[in-house]
Structure 1
Amino acid sequence: MDHYVVFGHPIGHSKSPLIHRLFAEQTGQTLDYQAALAPLDRFTAFAKHFFESGLGANVTVPFKEEAYRMADLLTERGRRAGAVNTLARQADGSLLGDNTDGAGLVRDLKVNHGVALKDKRILLLGAGGAVRGALEPLLTEEPHVLVVANRTVEKAQQLAQEFADLGPILPAGYDWLEEPVDIIINATSASLSGDLPPIPPILVQRGETFCYDMMYAQEPTAFCRWAVQHHAGQAVDGLGMLVEQAAEAFYLWRGVRPDSAPVLAELRRLMAEG
């Protein structure tokens, strides 16, 4: 049996085992996928022990930077992100580190929601690991401009410098924002506590602006409620990103790309049931 795992702390809430079980059933792959509570103080040793027999791992909070450091080789998007959410054991036993988060985001936007990114004015809220993972895939889509806004402007400026070779990227503070954009992506964790980044309603072009929250919950997130209140064209959560980044990891491990649509529909159904 081929063994896979998701490492995290906490990990009990993870939907990854269900997602990958559904992918395996759909594609006729035989594998075992479990959730593992990794110790906060010795993640690397714990992960290396798994890879003595295991083939692949997803990595979630708070271990993505440690996974980046333990990888023997990195994909370009993993290197750019400075964080790894997917590890794959190679034939020679070495570990390949990848970051599928940004690819999952772009695929969810384009395929599941029909959002064109080329030549668009995109605003990314936050400057943490989620933004870092999204920048390379988003800039590859050739937006008109990508604005990274953060409470601490210096963090946004640092990212803008680091990724400037990939396309037009501008740093900003939240209070600098004063004109409408086509797409707003909330990559902060504010929604987890029911909060909002301090952004002005002027950003939303009535009936046009597409608002996306990387977080998801059973009820609409605070950011999605804000978007609807200010008449955004659409407001969606990040459950599709979760499924799409998992599909990208599954493809990396198995060489088969699952159809994410029925899996996403099943997760929505289960969440609606509570």
Structure 2
Amino acid sequence: MLGSPIGHSLSPVLHRAGYRAVGLDWTYDAHEVSSGELPAFLTRLDDSWRGLSLTMPLKREALPLAAVVSDVARAAGAANTLVRRDDGTWAADNTDVPGLVAALQERWPSPVERAVILGGGATAASALLALATTGCREFTLAVRDPGRAADTLEVAERLADPVDVRIVGLGDDAAADLVVSTIPADAQTPELLAAYAAVPVVFDVVYDPWPTPLVAANGNRVVVTGLDLLVHQAALQFTMFTGLPAPLREMRDAGRTALA
């Protein structure tokens, strides 16, 4: 697992639990890698490395370093996964997008027609792309600075089927079936909570601290958790790395135990 900061990540817990469950004597560790340091890190790796998980600020920096880029990663403009190819080069992929879909549909199988996404970074872009693949066509991006939404807007513009995207400030009212929060818990102000109190489904990608203010504000709503997303995207990575079906239950249980 590469990124910065990285010490809080649950990914090592999930992947190690998966390896134990299927009897693989593999390792999975967290490495602090800051912006601009990924090329040098990759050159130091030998053939024993099967793959890498990436978090910020490396998701966009990984794309030009890969020999092959999946359609999903290209559409998202970001990769959270690098898999070593037989020739020693890397293939870039994005499991955040299908992981978002799987996590949402596990908790809320009904269609989503209108969504509010809080934040405009790489995870927000993946959320928009994921929801668009399920048929959602109306999006509101709520951001502090409209300039921060540029990358997410580019993702929307690359979609084969057009979507309607509106930019508002954080805490501005917006009618929706679903609110997806990609912002830190400490950015979830009382004004923001009030603005989205009537939205029936909340998907908060944060998993620590939990519950976030957005989730705690109304306990009667359907909630999709950051752990749900983390488990599903990690399960997809697990299969890419090992070629084996992921032991989803064991990975989720390990994550719950670690958070508890």
TM-score, normalization by structure 2: 0.86
Classify 1:225/1:27 alpha carbon distance in 2 versus 1 (closer, same or farther; 3 Å): same
Matched position secondary structure for 1:50: coil
2:134 is the alignment partner of 1:141: yes
**107, 111, 114: which is aligned to 1:118?**
111
**56, 76, 80: which is aligned to 2:75?**
80
How far does the alpha carbon of each residue in 1:192-211 deviate from its partner, in whole angstroms, 9 at most, with x for none? x3643953635433xx7011
2:103 is the alignment partner of 1:108: yes
Match for residue 225 of structure 1? 216
Gaps of 5+ in 1: 1-5
Amino acid at match of 1:129: A
Classify 1:91/1:184 alpha carbon distance in 2 versus 1 (closer, same or farther; 3 Å): same
How far does the alpha carbon of each residue in 1:51-94 deviate from its partner, in whole angstroms, 9 at most, with x for none? 55412111122222222221121111111222211100111222
How far does the alpha carbon of each residue in 1:22-49 deviate from its partner, in whole angstroms, 9 at most, with x for none? 1112233342222222355532111221
Matched position secondary structure for 1:258: coil
**1:117 touches 1:142 (CA, 8 Å); kept in 2?**
no
Amino acid at match of 2:227: L
Match for residue 50 of structure 2? 55
Give the Cα separation in 2 of the matches to 1:42 and 1:175. 32
Give the Cα separation in 2 of the matches to 1:93 and 1:197. 50
Higher relative contact order (CA 8 A, sep 6+): 2
Decide which moves more: 90-99 or 33-42: 33-42
Matched position secondary structure for 2:136: coil
**242, 245, 269: which is aligned to 2:257?**
269
Classify 1:210/1:61 alpha carbon distance in 2 versus 1 (closer, same or farther; 3 Å): same
Matched position secondary structure for 2:179: strand
2:18 is the alignment partner of 1:23: yes
| Identity %, equivalent residues | 27
Match for residue 150 of structure 1? 143
**What RMSD, in angstroms, separates the aligned Cα atoms of the two structures?**
2.6
Match for residue 253 of structure 1? 241
How far does the alpha carbon of each residue in 1:224-244 deviate from its partner, in whole angstroms, 9 at most, with x for none? 123x1xx65234431111111
Gaps of 5+ in 2: none
Give the Cα separation in 2 of the matches to 1:250 and 1:175. 35
**1:87 touches 1:97 (CA, 8 Å); kept in 2?**
yes
**2:17 touches 2:254 (CA, 8 Å); kept in 1?**
no
Give the Cα separation in 1 of the matches to 2:254 and 2:228. 11
How far does the alpha carbon of each residue in 1:170-207 deviate from its partner, in whole angstroms, 9 at most, with x for none? 1221379545321111012x31x3643953635433xx
**1:57 touches 1:88 (CA, 8 Å); kept in 2?**
yes
Matches within 5 A, 1:176-191: 177-188=172-183, 190-191=184-185
Classify 1:216/1:196 alpha carbon distance in 2 versus 1 (closer, same or farther; 3 Å): farther
Match for residue 14 of structure 1? 9
Give the Cα separation in 2 of the matches to 1:187 and 1:146. 14
**How many angstroms does 1:154 deviate by?**
4.7
Matched position secondary structure for 2:28: strand
Give the Cα separation in 1 of the matches to 2:30 and 2:132. 33
Amino acid at match of 1:44: P
**2:81 touches 2:92 (CA, 8 Å); kept in 1?**
yes
2:203 is the alignment partner of 1:212: yes
2:98 is the alignment partner of 1:98: no
**2:113 touches 2:137 (CA, 8 Å); kept in 1?**
yes
**1:174 touches 1:198 (CA, 8 Å); kept in 2?**
no
